Amino acid sequence: MPRIDAEVRATAAQCRHYAMCKIDYLATGICPSGPEKGFVTYYPQGRMDLIRGLAEGRIPVTEALVEAADTCTLCGVCDFQCHFVTGMQPTAVMRALKQYVDDYRREEGEVVRPVEDEALRKLRGIVGRDWATNDPAVLWTYADDPFPLAGPQMPRYVVLPGSRDEVAAAVRLANGLGLPFAIRGNGGSVFGFVFTDGIVLDMARMRRIDFDLENWCAAVEPGVTSFELQQEAFRRGLRVNAAEPAATVCGNLVCTGTFSTWSNVYGTAADNFVDMEFVGRDGRIFRLNDKRGPNHFAFERRVVPSPGVCTKAFVKLHPMTGDEEGLLVPFEGFDEAVRFARELGQRRIGLALAVLGAHYLATFLTPDEGLAGKVKTALPEALGINYVVFTIADRFGREAIRRMAPAVIDSSLLRVLMLGLPRLVEPRWLDLVREYEGRSRPFELLCRPGMRPVVEAVLQPSPETISESVPESLRPFYRELYARPEMTDMVWLNMHRIVSARMSRRKHMFAFLVYVPPDRLEVVHEVMDGFARVAGAHGIDHDFGFLTPMDLGKRAILEYDYYIDHTDPAEREKIAAAMPELDPWLDALAARIPGVLSLKYVFSQGCSRKDNFLYRV
């Protein structure tokens, strides 16, 4: 057997399965073989799994594996895409896969040609020969994700239906054969939810979007990602409430009910769609808005199965006013930041809205993990910023916020900061701050219009400056990238959410989401302290994520994150020990306090009315 280099193995094992290599979010184009072949196996993510599978002895060399290796052109696009969010450069893995296959052929190793069985013949009869397989290499790329609490689960078949009727026929066949099935959107769920030992239905071929502008909605098939829908809406001067960029729109609506910083005004769950079409688990087709159908607008406070396979969602479109810009309002303390965000929610000022900590802010803003660590320290130390209230607002909203807040970082100042971040962590900036020490808080100094020439002289913001932070081989690419206005535009970035995938750059992230009553700060603290206590007891890296007010500031969604290296057995043990402590504690809190609810219970009930889980009657 050919050998696989340890560094290549380590890189492949670190793939986060975020599927960002499956969307063209940097306008570089995507891996050419992916869209043509459909299966994740032919995207960089799949090839990372193939090398891992070979290295661990989990898969043989098969026809599909050879094809996946051969169809990689070593174009290098996945280096740009993957580095932007994870800091990794996977082309070395792709080269190793090709080398492995070349060596294997040279050694005249046997290439496994899977045999078509009766079930596969029937599945191919439904979707066509090219869109169903039992090739072990393909199956392996649908067997696992970084979720450390479950081992790989190999499906027997992977099927890519091309229409609603094909979905229905495949579901009926699965039921007839007594095989379970799992529905896969774009990536994995990173929580181990999309695996089965039966049939995986990958919705990647159903990618149609039809805009109905008079009705302010878009009919979206289940293979469409949030990024793709937002991009199309944006071209029309419109916006949707979008999930993580690589998440499929339908999958996200069903799973957790889409929420984002825009949920401040657009809401969540059933607020986000006009209607949805499903193939039920029995293979029957129904619409949510059909009175004779099952009532998925209701909510049960327990873990329940999903309504079935969503085959179309009629997603709400929202207008943009053309004068929207981003603002950051800096704060030293968490409580004052939450109070301010809640007040904006209550007063209906601003659109997107969130409280962010230094950790998130530093990670979002920087293309390099090393720089992010320094910026995370510099924000409190050099600028006095521990938290910011982030908002997108029209000009009226921004005027109101400027009257309410002593200092704001507007979109042009944020652009200066983003492009000059490497200088912010250097002694010159710290000297400047010390020079003015005592006169006002450093962030007030930063935000003063008269200081802008000094700030610019020290930070020297430019695509060249920010590109200094990435490896030399990637600098020409980053210089071009940061010369594009949208890469420093808070409105575009926040709508398309491409930087939020950087949250798991440092390590695999467990995002815990809890609905909370933001007017009860002691409850918000109890939730955060609880997560911090359990993480601390088990030696797990942890941090506050974000808090976004909803429904006029009466409720909020809070994210708290744990970080572990999912490839390290010791770290896996830590999270395995911590998880059982979280549920009983959170359940007891939720039973005691109205407005507290773990998103775990909303899972698979994302179509429900938010009022049914945010409030109790």
Q: How far is the CB of 30 from ligand SF4 (least distance, A)?
A: 7
By CB under 6 A, residue 77 contacts ligand SF4: yes
Element counts in the chain: helices (H) and strands (E): 26, 19
Contact 301, 601 (CB under 8 A): yes
Q: How far is the CB of 35 from ligand SF4 (least distance, A)?
A: 11
By CB under 6 A, residue 94 contacts ligand SF4: yes
Q: Which is nearer to ligand SF4, 32 or 152 (CB)?
A: 32
Residue from 10, 66, 75, 521 touching ligand SF4 (CB under 6 A): that is 75
By CB under 6 A, residue 20 contacts ligand SF4: no
Element (H, E) at 464: helix 463-467
Structure tokens at 472: 């030399």
By CB under 6 A, residue 46 contacts ligand SF4: no
Q: How far is the CB of 482 from ligand SF4 (least distance, A)?
A: 21
Segment interacting with ligand SF4 (CB under 6 A) among 50-58, 68-76, 460-468, 507-515: 68-76
Binding flags for ligand SF4, 467-506, as an x/- string (CB under 6 A): ----------------------------------------
Contact 82, 48 (CB under 8 A): no
Segment interacting with ligand SF4 (CB under 6 A) among 71-79, 173-181, 219-227, 554-562: 71-79
By CB under 6 A, residue 102 contacts ligand SF4: no
Entry field: residues in the chain: 617
Q: How far is the CB of 20 from ligand SF4 (least distance, A)?
A: 12
By CB under 6 A, residue 76 contacts ligand SF4: yes
Alpha carbon distance, N-terminus to C-terminus of the chain:
64
Segment interacting with ligand SF4 (CB under 6 A) among 59-67, 72-80, 202-210, 467-475: 72-80
Q: Which is nearer to ligand SF4, 40 or 389 (CB)?
A: 40
Helices (H), 20-76: 33-37, 44-55, 63-71
Q: Which is nearer to ligand SF4, 246 or 270 (CB)?
A: 246
- The C-alpha angle with vertex 515 and arms to 513 and 519, in degrees rounded to 5, equals 130
Rounded Cα distance, 317 and 129, in Å: 37
Residue with the CB atom nearest ligand SF4 in the bound state: 31
By CB under 6 A, residue 293 contacts ligand SF4: no
Structure tokens at 454: 């000094």
Q: What is residue 186's DSSP assignment? A: S
Q: Which is nearer to ligand SF4, 73 or 473 (CB)?
A: 73
Measuring CA to CA, how many Å separate 162 from each of 27, 491, 609?
A: 26, 34, 30
Residue from 3, 70, 74, 537 touching ligand SF4 (CB under 6 A): that is 74
By CB under 6 A, residue 88 contacts ligand SF4: no
Q: How far is the CB of 206 from ligand SF4 (least distance, A)?
A: 23
Helices (H), 199-243: 226-235
Rounded Cα distance, 148 and 150, in Å: 6
Q: How far is the CB of 104 from ligand SF4 (least distance, A)?
A: 18
Q: Which is nearer to ligand SF4, 65 or 523 (CB)?
A: 65
Contact 509, 541 (CB under 8 A): no
Name the residue type at position 251.
Answer: G
Q: How far is the CB of 469 from ligand SF4 (least distance, A)?
A: 23
- What is the three-state SS of 260-327? CCCHHHHCCHHHHEEEEEEECCCCCEEECCCCCCCCCCCCCCCCCCCCCEEEEEEEECEECCCCCEEE
- The sign one gets for the Cα dihedral 338, 340, 343, 347 is negative
Binding residues for ligand SF4, total number by CB under 6 A: 13
By CB under 6 A, residue 78 contacts ligand SF4: yes
Q: Which is nearer to ligand SF4, 37 or 47 (CB)?
A: 47
Q: Please provide the DSSP assignment of 50-62 as one string.
A: HHHHHHTT-S--B
Binding flags for ligand SF4, 21-40, as an x/- string (CB under 6 A): ----------xx--------
Rounded Cα distance, 251 and 249, in Å: 6
Rounded Cα distance, 513 and 544, in Å: 11
Rounded Cα distance, 461 and 413, in Å: 10
Q: Which is nearer to ligand SF4, 46 or 461 (CB)?
A: 46
Q: Which is nearer to ligand SF4, 47 or 239 (CB)?
A: 47
Contact 606, 255 (CB under 8 A): yes
Q: How far is the CB of 74 from ligand SF4 (least distance, A)?
A: 5
Binding residues (CB under 6 A) for ligand SF4: these are 31-32, 44, 47, 72-78, 91, 94
